[in-house]
Structure 1
Amino acid sequence: MSIIKKLATPALALTLVISLSACAGMSRQDKSTAIGAGIGAVAGSVLTGGSPVGTVGGAAVGGVIGNQVEKHR
């Protein structure tokens, strides 16, 4: 069990660094879509008590809203 804990932290940090570097070439609209999807996923999960369907639904709705908000700026 302790080996899993030792490997989980560096793996999580590496995943975070790689995911943040992927955003470097994104347009403003793409960034807004990704942020909206993230916020929507968290909100959907909270509102449905952690349901996977609520999380995915919230991410989809949040992504669409983020995309449309940046389009009209």
Structure 2
Amino acid sequence: MADNETRAKATALTGACIASALLDALYAKGILTLDEARGVLTSAMQQVGPHAQTSEGYIATGMIGNMLSGPYTARR
């Protein structure tokens, strides 16, 4: 059986994967516009912001930033 730290990391990874897949699906189906998808990611970045000085927060801001500058870039 996994220890608590491993389970916590797995839970976070699972949630992130589900949220990312859901955002992708909603955008692909035209349910969310590009601006709305970017709004979701911007909101997530703001929520992570206070934790950006931790290693986990720093990595999370980088991952969200990669989505904002990659598949959800404003320059399309």
What TM-score, normalized to structure 1? 0.45
Tell me which structure has the larger Cα radius of gyration.
1
Higher helix share: 1
Larger RCO of the pair (alpha carbons < 8 Å, separation 6+): 1
